[in-house]
Amino acid sequence: MDKLELLSEIMTQLSQGKDAKDLIDQFLKTVPSISPEEITEVAQYLDDKGVFKDPNHHQNIETRVFALIDSKMPKHDLSSFPEGHPIHSYLEENVIIKGFCDRANKLLLDDNSYRTLNSDWFLISKEFLQLDIHYLRKENQLFPYLEKRGFSHPSTVMWSIHDQIRKLAKDFSQAIKADEEEIAKAILPQLAKDAFEMTIKEEKILLPKSAKILTQEDWIDIRHGEDEIGWIIPNPPGWNPNWTHPSQLNIEGLEHKQQMSKAVPFDKDNARHHHVGRIDLEVGAITPEQINLIFRYLPFDITYVDEFDEVRYYNKGEERVFPRSPGIIGRSVDKCHPPKSVHMVVQIVESFKKGEKNQADFWINFNDKFILIQYFAVRDADGNYKGVIEVSYDGTYIRNLKGEQRLLDWE
């Protein structure tokens, strides 16, 4: 049995609830090294075979296997990627994240630090919440391109671990705000451990594999979409080796954003009616530019998924409830949601397709806001299913309204 067969059998037995002790001992004794490509080949193969049914169970198995193979993996040199390249940004952020973990562990070593250095505990709680940005870029930009290259494994497993770390960070922050010392001290060791281990998984498996299978054009597209999500580090420079003058990157987009935020009085004398390029709609006819402007200024997020379950559109408002980036266009809808909620999305879509339901509503408290999330079935004139629209709306303002206001009040 070669090392890939051995690793495959270990993971399969663990998925069946067996301890696989003999195989693990054999692996440790006989396998001198294993590469990221070999590991991901096994993981993707088992994923495709459906060996792992439960994402949470899968996550636990991967955590155990990673501890097993960590010492067998070489550390790849990723330092050659230029500033602005997504891999460079991930590595820079990992330095910062490891710093969070190091400071957390130092606080935990001092029994009196919670009382004597309370501001440090508060600061570290705010810093760990920033992990969400790092993970969002992976989920919305990197993972879609890996899926296009046949590597869907991170979307199912690593995303689950992201969510686990996010929850720990949120629970830790809430414990600090409520001054619940025992709860905070109980959460922080696991949070620091999981966040640190994720940086190692990225540097030893995910990023080397990504560097190998993604093309330069993929990375250019990934970098272009990152601006909509952001970074933990200061905004890196634009990166596109195909452009002659990097200092002029995204000038058009910057000017457009400035124009969007600048109100210009309407000049009736010089204004012209838009006749050319109008599209006849069910009611009225407007230009593509007007359509884009209408959707941009709607005070809620819209995402459209077609009848083939592929994301085809989202509106680019200035302040979205949930981040979106161009990487999701063409992506299967079941890859665009956290693993823990995918089953609900699939259930909704299937009910819409069967004609059983036309709407599904959810409301949550998110980042101190009351968020309404609605799904609507899209059907043509004959009732044929043509997709689903997801609408997300910050309803905090409306929820807090009382009485009536019938007069204009701009004071």
Q: What pLDDT is recorded for position 47? A: 76
Q: What is the mean pLDDT of residues 54-67?
A: 67
Q: How many C-beta atoms surround the C-beta of residue 101 within 10 A?
A: 21
Using CA atoms, how far apart are residues 244 and 227, in angstroms rounded to an integer? 20
Examine the pLDDT at 101 and tell me if it is beyond 90.
yes
Using CA atoms, how far apart are residues 300 and 298, in angstroms rounded to an integer? 6
The pTM of the full predicted model, rounded to 2 decimals, is 0.67
Examine the pLDDT at 264 and tell me if it is beyond 60.
yes
Closest by CA position to 391, among listed 374, 369, 379, 377: 374
Tell me the pLDDT band of 175, cut-offs 50, 70 and 90: very high
> CA 57 from chain center: how many Å?
21
Say if residues 127 and 104 touch (Cβ distance below 8 Å): no
Tell me the pLDDT band of 204, cut-offs 50, 70 and 90: confident
Tokens 């959707």 appear where?
Answer: 295
Using CA atoms, how far apart are residues 392 and 70, in angstroms rounded to an integer? 41
Question: Which residues make Cβ contacts (< 8 Å) with residue 376, sequence separation at least 6?
Answer: 358, 359, 388, 389, 391
On average, the pLDDT of the chain sits at 84
Query: Phi and psi (nearest 5°) for 234?
Result: -55, 145
- 95 exposed, middle or buried (CB, 10 Å; 0-12, 13-18, 19+)? exposed
Closest by CA position to 293, among listed 250, 255, 254, 259: 259
Q: What pLDDT is recorded for position 256? A: 47
Lowest mean pLDDT among 82-91, 174-183, 251-260, 286-295: 251-260
Alpha-carbon torsion angle 247, 234, 230, 296, nearest 10:
-60
Q: What is the mean pLDDT of residues 17-37?
A: 82
pLDDT digit string, tens, across residues 319-342: 778 877 777 888 888 887 777 788
Using CA atoms, how far apart are residues 18 and 22, in angstroms rounded to an integer? 11
Helical residues (DSSP H) of 112-206, grouped into ranges: 113-116, 118-129, 131-137, 143-148, 153-156, 158-177, 181-201
Extended strands (E) in 178-332: 279-280, 285-286, 301-305, 311-314
The Cα-based distances of 34 to 14, 25, 37, 45, 91 in angstroms read 19, 16, 8, 16, 22
Using CA atoms, how far apart are residues 345 and 339, in angstroms rounded to an integer? 10
Largest pairwise CA distance in the chain = 85
Instruction: Write out the two tokens for 256.
Output: 């457009």
